Amino acid sequence: MIGVPPLLIASIFFALVPDEYETRFEKIETIEVGGVSIDLCRREDGVFGLGEVRQGGLPLRRADFLVTWQVGGRFPAFEGRKGPEVRLRDPRATLTFRPQRRECAGTVL
C-alpha cells in the first residue's frame, strides 16, 4: 500500500481511493496499534478515513489527504470504535487494526 505500513489488516474488502480535490477533515481520535499511531478522521462530508500514521516520532504517512474505503460503491461514515475495531455505517462495515511483523531487505517493520 502506498504510504501505509503493512501493519494493518482490514476486515472488509476495500479500495484505496485518493481524493480528487483538496480535502478538509478533522481528527476524530488516534488509535495505537503495535507501536504505530493512526489518526482516525472525518472528511467534511462525513466520510471516514485515515490521516497521519506515525511510529513513535517518525511519520510514516502524512495527512495531505485521507485514505478512504468504498464498500458496495459507497464511502462509509464513522460510527464508533471499541478497542482495535472501528465500526462504520452507511453502508455498515467493520475495520479491524492488528499489529503485524514484516521483514523486508533486512528491515523489520
Domain assignment present for 35? yes
Q: Given this model, what pLDDT does residue 47 score?
A: 93
Q: Given this model, what pLDDT does residue 12 score?
A: 35
Domain assignment present for 63? yes
Give CA–CA dist 88/99, Å, rounded.
20
The contacts found for 74-83 with CB under 8 angstroms, 24 or more apart, are 75/17, 75/47, 75/48, 76/47, 76/48, 77/42, 77/46, 77/47, 77/48, 78/28, 78/40, 78/42, 78/48, 81/29, 81/31, 81/40
pLDDT for 91 beyond 90: yes
Query: Which residues form the domain of 94?
Result: 25-101
pLDDT in tens, 13-66: 344 445 454 568 999 999 998 888 999 999 988 999 999 999 888 888 888 888
Section 78-98 average pLDDT: 92
Domain assignment present for 51? yes
* Placement of cell 475495531 in the chain: 85
Give CA–CA dist 79/57, Å, rounded.
29
pLDDT in tens, 74-84: 999 999 999 98
- The number of folded domains in the chain is 1
Give CA–CA dist 30/106, Å, rounded.
29
Q: Given this model, what pLDDT does residue 23 score?
A: 63
Q: Given this model, what pLDDT does residue 63 score?
A: 80
Domain assignment present for 48? yes
Domain assignment present for 53? yes
Domain assignment present for 3? no
Domain assignment present for 6? no
Domain assignment present for 7? no
